[in-house]
Amino acid sequence: MSTLLVLNGPNLNMLGKRQPEVYGHESLADVEALCRQTANQFDVEIEFQQTNHEGQMIDWIHQARGRVNGIVINPGAWTHTSVAIHDALIAAEVPVIEVHISNVHRRETFRHQSYVSLVAKAVLAGFGTHGYQLAIQHFAFLDTPRTSQ
Ligand code: CA2
């Protein structure tokens, strides 16, 4: 069974409490429940974390090395600012899918730049919280032996 690390960056603990027009009405606990449901469905194990502290995020990414099969990360605002998270993701040597609830490309120009996309296998933006499910599903798909037709 494969293990995925689902990481959430700063302010995502506020989901559902403010800006529902941008991020929807679901709380982070709802997102976790959604991820666990999808993980069960696809026989994947997940670890779900959120932090407002960049060093903590970097430690979790380092600890993923050689231990998990993939990282699903919503880096929040660190997406647009953090070379340190970019470097940590390279050091982890684990495939990464970057998820954004909102479509960052139709928002302010400072959200168009992502240091994480440079090291991500794939990026999902604008699918709402369904993006997390799609990312987990994709990792499960990669892990499933497929027969050629
Ligand atoms: O769309 C996304 O998922 C973002 O990663 C969310 C980040 C934002 O900085 C990125 O540009 C795009 C912000 C997460 C903060 O979420 C809040 C939710 C409710 C109230 C306040 C912040």
Q: What is the pLDDT of residues 68-86, one digit of tens each?
A: 999 999 999 999 999 999 9
Measured in Å, residue 131 CA sits from the centre of ligand 1 at: 14
CA of 11 to the centre of ligand 1 (A): 7
CA 125 to ligand 1: nearest atom? 1
Residue 10 scores a pLDDT above 90: yes
- The domains of the chain, with CATH numbers, are 2-104+119-143 (3.40.50.9100)
- In this predicted model, what pLDDT tens digit does every residue of 105-145 receive, in sequence order? 999 999 999 999 999 999 999 999 999 999 999 999 998 76
Ligand 1 atom at minimal distance to the Cα of residue 107: 11
Ligand 1 center–CA 145 separation, angstroms:
35
132 catalytic? Reply is no
Model pLDDT, residue 146: 64
| 148 has pLDDT over 90 | no
Q: Which of 80, 86, 100, 130 is catalytic?
A: 100
- Say what the pTM is: 0.96
Q: How does the average pLDDT of the chain come out, rounded?
A: 95
Q: What is the pLDDT confidence band of residue 149, given thresholds at 50, 70 and 90?
A: very low
pLDDT of 38 > 60? The answer is yes
Q: Rounded to 5 degrees, what are φ and ψ at 75?
A: -80, 0
Q: Where are the alpha helices (DSSP H) in the chain?
A: 20-23, 28-41, 54-64, 83-92, 130-143
Measure 60 CA to ligand 1 centroid, in angstroms.
20
Q: What is the mean pLDDT of residues 23-44?
A: 96
Structure tokens at 65: 């090395």
Active site residue 100: yes
Number of Cβ within 10 Å of residue 29's Cβ equals 12
**Dihedral over alpha carbons 142, 82, 115, 19 (to 10 degrees):** 80
- Ligand 1 test: best mutation among 21, 30, 52, 79, most atoms within 8 Å of CB? 79
Look at residues 140, 120, 138, 6 and name the one whose alpha carbon lies nearest to residue 64. 6
